[in-house]
Amino acid sequence: MVVGDFETSLETVVIGAGPGGYVAAIRAAQLGQSVTLIEKTHIGGTCLNVGCIPSKALIEASHHYHDLISSPFKGVSAKEVSLDFSEIQEWKDNQVVKKLTDGIKFLLKKNNVTVLEGTGYFMDENRIRVMHEFGGETYTFENAIIATGSTPIEIPGFKFNDRVLDSTGILALEELPKKLVVIGGGYIGSELAGVFANLGTEVTILEGQSAILPNFDKKLVSYVEKSFKKLNVAIETNALAKSAKTTADNVLVTYEVNGETKEIECDYVLVSVGRRPNTKELGLERVGVELDERGLIKVNDQCQTTLDHVYAIGDIIPGLALAHKASYEGKIAAEAIDGQDVAVDYKAMPAVCFTSPELASTGLTKKEAEEKGYSVKVSEFPFQGNGRALSMNKAEGLVQLVSDKETGEVLGGQIAGVNASDLISEITLAIETSASIEDLSLTVHPHPTVSETIMEAAEVGLGLPIHI
Catalytic residues: 447
Does 149 show up as a binding residue in the annotation? yes
Question: 90: annotated binding-site residue?
Answer: no
Distance from chain centroid for Cα 254: 29
**How far are the Cα atoms of 35, 91, 257 from residue 8, in angstroms, in the given order?**
13, 41, 58
Q: What backbone torsions phi and psi does residue 301 show, to the nearest 5 degrees?
A: -80, 5
Q: At what angle do helices 187-198 and 52-69 cross, to 10 degrees?
A: 30
> Is 361 a known ligand-binding residue?
no
Does 293 belong to an annotated binding site? Answer: no
Q: At what angle do helices 218-230 and 187-198 cross, to 10 degrees?
A: 30
Is residue 186 a known part of a binding site?
Answer: yes
Q: Is 459 annotated as a binding residue?
A: no
- Establish whether 187 is an annotated binding residue: yes
* 336 contacts 304 by C-beta, under 8 angstroms: yes
The 10 Å Cβ neighbour count of residue 40 is 17
Query: Is 279 marked as binding a ligand?
Result: no
CB 34 within 8 A of CB 12: yes
Is 421 annotated to bind a ligand? Reply is: no
6 burial level (CB within 10 Å; 0-12, 13-18, 19+)? exposed
The C-alpha atoms of residue 14 and residue 143 are separated, in whole angstroms, by 9
Is 207 annotated among the ligand-binding residues?
A: yes
Spell out the residues 6+ positions from residue 293 whose beta carbon is closer than 8 angstroms to its own: none
Query: Does the annotation place 185 within a ligand binding site?
Result: yes
Residue ranges of the binding site for NAD(+): 184-191, 207, 274
Which segments are annotated as binding site for FAD?
56, 120, 148-150, 315
